[in-house]
Amino acid sequence: MSVPPPDPPGSPIPVMARLLLADQQFTSCRQTVMDANPGMSKELASRIVEEGLKFVAACAKNPGAGLAPSRIVDEGWHALILHTALYAELCEQLGGFVHHYPGWDPTHYDPPILDRTREKIAELGYVADPGLWGPPSDETLVSVAAKCQHAPECAIRPMPTPQPPVA
């Protein structure tokens, strides 16, 4: 096993989204991804959850930016959402609840949305994992269980507060 070379002096240290969760919480979300994708390695499931965390952080810090995850990153986001109490606390910690508006149509793949999302992730000091932000047809890493592909009309943005029905 080779050890990567150290970063040059003065280079910024990337922020680790993994640290947004306690170890037990992260492990539980990773297991959710693995359960939905039999045979997936812990390493890949960890990468997917970490990208999901970066995505949620970018959305919470940039309401109205119209961000969307790749299909693979969406799997990590879904794992976070399924842990409802953890997800609510995470969103509160990050500054705002990030709602999920699913939609599936493989033609909705829109590279500029993903580019914008990765830019917002980078602005927070994170480094997006390039292997997990590809097109929906790129299933060379994993056959993702989630059938979501977000598009401009379902990208994440603030929604009005629901109002009670008028009697």
Domain boundaries, the chain: 21-154
**pLDDT at residue 20 in the model:** 95
Other Cβ atoms less than 10 A from the Cβ of 151: the count is 15
Residue 5 CA from chain centroid, whole number = 28
Please check whether residue 156 is in contact with residue 141, taking contact to mean a CB–CB distance below 8 angstroms.
no
- pTM equals 0.78
> What pLDDT is attached to residue 120?
96
* Nearest-5° Cα angle at 19, 34 to 45: 15
Do 160 and 103 meet the contact criterion of CB atoms below 8 Å apart?
Answer: no
Tokens of 159: 């929604």
* Residues recorded for the chain: 167
* DSSP one-letter code for 156: B
Structure tokens at 94: 């990050």
> What is the pLDDT at residue 158?
39
For the chain, list residues with pLDDT below 70: 1-14, 103-108, 137-167
Cβ neighbors of 134 (< 8 A, separation 6 or more) are 70, 72
